[in-house]
């Protein structure tokens, strides 16, 4: 039996009750300090060697290590501490409520369920022990924005394999899309609205780009598809232009998001955009523009022959009574950073729904199953 207080549902309720809104998403958000402190105390009380990483003041990540006896493989479990905002949530987002086999609250699904499961699983596996390889728990900041938490962890820690416990409905995620953001600045010429002979309407010129962008999206839909992810996509996210009704706009800025699949990256997206803008410059009189790159993250694809993949699949099949579904995610996760650092990894998490929505919940049965899968995987992989 697990030690008293080491119940994943109880722990998940405690985590939901801690405000950990990402302040890069919501100015004034609480950040990760309180929940990081809670996790550090919880893990320290169970004998883990706890490290607090805090390059950005008030935005800590925690790495807790259970040292192995030697000669075994090391494993890192990764889960993020931050959530999206509380405004607009239906009810009290920090009051965990259990009803009909589900637990409700902000972060219940994304992803405090995975965080609770990995902490309990780690404690149980160490108690079951001994483990030959090191076990690391990375409780990271800022995944919902720029993932500087995992980046900071990887500056000081590594492992032979990793599992990210983002929600996945107990399906095994072996790939996910990346993204690249670019600002397209279409240039015009400011002039009084009565002087079309002097002005160039940047917003009207930008319309040509928007039509080309839509056509680009259609072409992507018809292009080569990844087996788990389908094709890449593109859309216009934000548009800014103009000063006032009586002035020709001097510029119009369009933020473009391109979701990428393996084989695509920020460089290939920039080349695609440059070709579109070059074509418009050649065809549309007075069309001038320039590109400004923004944040980009790489897509991810697991090595299906990696030992961690086989280990998780084996224990998931035992817990579920059938082989788990393999899936790809349209969204980005920290798996890509772990993979880029040379750490074979995959993603598996709880069932539920309402990520970033007005009502969020996690399925309690799936929470217990996930905890069992992670416990057995740790004991097997690190033995």
pLDDT (tens, 9 = 90+) of the chain, 383 residues, equals 333 358 999 999 999 999 999 999 999 999 999 999 999 999 999 999 999 999 999 999 999 999 999 999 999 999 999 999 999 999 999 999 999 999 999 999 999 999 999 999 999 999 998 999 999 999 999 999 999 999 999 999 999 999 999 999 999 999 999 999 999 999 999 999 999 999 999 999 999 999 999 999 999 999 999 999 999 999 999 999 999 999 999 999 999 999 999 999 999 999 999 999 999 999 999 999 999 999 999 999 999 999 999 999 999 999 999 999 999 999 999 999 999 999 999 999 999 999 999 999 999 999 999 999 999 999 999 99
CA distances from 312 to 8, 62, 128, 343 (A): 20, 24, 18, 15
Nearest to 216 by CA among 258, 244, 261: 258
pTM above 0.85, yes or no: yes
Counting Cα atoms < 13 Å in the Cβ hemisphere of 153 gives: 34
Domain ranges in the chain are 8-176+300-381, 178-297
Helices 33-44 & 113-128, crossing angle to 10 degrees?
A: 20
What distance in Å separates the CA atoms of residue 211 and residue 29, rounded to the nearest whole number?
38
Rounded CA gap, 187 and 349, in Å? Answer: 46
CATH architecture type of domain 178-297: 2-Layer Sandwich (3.30)
Report the distance separating Cα 103 and Cα 81, nearest Å: 18
Q: Which residues contact 301 (CB under 8 A, 6 or more apart)?
A: 174, 175, 262, 339
User: Cα–Cα distances in Å, from 284 out to 80, 198, 200, 236, 353?
Assistant: 47, 18, 12, 20, 46
Q: Mention every residue, 6+ apart, whose C-beta is less than 8 A from residue 287.
A: 186, 205, 208, 280, 281
CA distance 243 to 248: 8
CATH architecture of 8-176+300-381: 3-Layer(aba) Sandwich (3.40)
CB-based burial label for 189 (10 Å; 0-12, 13-18, 19+): middle
């Amino acid at each position: 039996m697990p030690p008293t207080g080491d119940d994943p549902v109880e722990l998940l309720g405690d985590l939901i009750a801690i405000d950990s809104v990402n302040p890069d998403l919501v100015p004034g958000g609480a950040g990760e300090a309180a929940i990081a402190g809670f996790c550090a105390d919880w893990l320290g009380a169970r004998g883990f060697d706890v490290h607090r990483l805090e390059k950005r003041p008030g935005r800590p990540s925690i790495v807790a290590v259970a040292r192995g006896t030697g000669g075994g493989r090391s494993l890192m479990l990764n889960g993020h501490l931050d959530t999206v905002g509380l405004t607009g949530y239906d009810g009290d987002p920090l009051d965990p409520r259990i009803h009909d086999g589900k637990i409700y609250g902000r972060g219940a699904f994304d992803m405090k369920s995975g965080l609770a499961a990995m902490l309990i699983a780690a404690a149980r596996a160490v108690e079951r022990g001994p483990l030959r390889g090191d076990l690391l728990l990375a409780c990271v900041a800022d995944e919902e924005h720029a993932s500087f938490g995992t980046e900071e962890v990887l500056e000081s820690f590594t492992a032979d394999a990793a599992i990210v416990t983002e929600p996945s409905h107990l399906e095994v995620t072996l790939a996910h899309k990346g993204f690249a953001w670019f600002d397209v600045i279409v240039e015009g010429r400011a002039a009084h609205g009565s002087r079309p002979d002097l002005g160039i309407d940047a917003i009207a010129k930008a319309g040509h780009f928007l039509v080309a962008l839509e056509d680009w999206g259609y072409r992507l839909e018809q292009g080569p598809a990844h087996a788990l992810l389908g094709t890449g996509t593109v859309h216009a996210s934000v548009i800014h232009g103009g000063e006032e009704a009586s002035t020709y706009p001097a510029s119009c800025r369009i933020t473009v998001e391109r979701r990428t699949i393996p084989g695509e990256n920020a460089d290939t997206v920039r080349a695609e955009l440059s070709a579109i803008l070059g074509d418009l410059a050649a065809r549309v009189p007075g069309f001038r523009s320039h590109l400004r790159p923004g944040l980009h993250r790489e897509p991810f694809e697991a090595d299906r022959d990696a030992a961690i993949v086989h280990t998780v699949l084996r224990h998931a099949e035992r817990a579920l009574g059938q082989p788990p579904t393999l899936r790809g995610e349209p969204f980005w996760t920290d798996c890509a950073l772990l993979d880029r650092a040379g750490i074979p990894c995959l993603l598996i998490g709880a069932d539920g729904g309402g990520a970033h929505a007005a009502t969020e919940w996690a399925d309690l049965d799936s929470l217990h199953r996930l905890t069992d899968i992670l416990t057995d995987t740790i004991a097997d992989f690190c033995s």
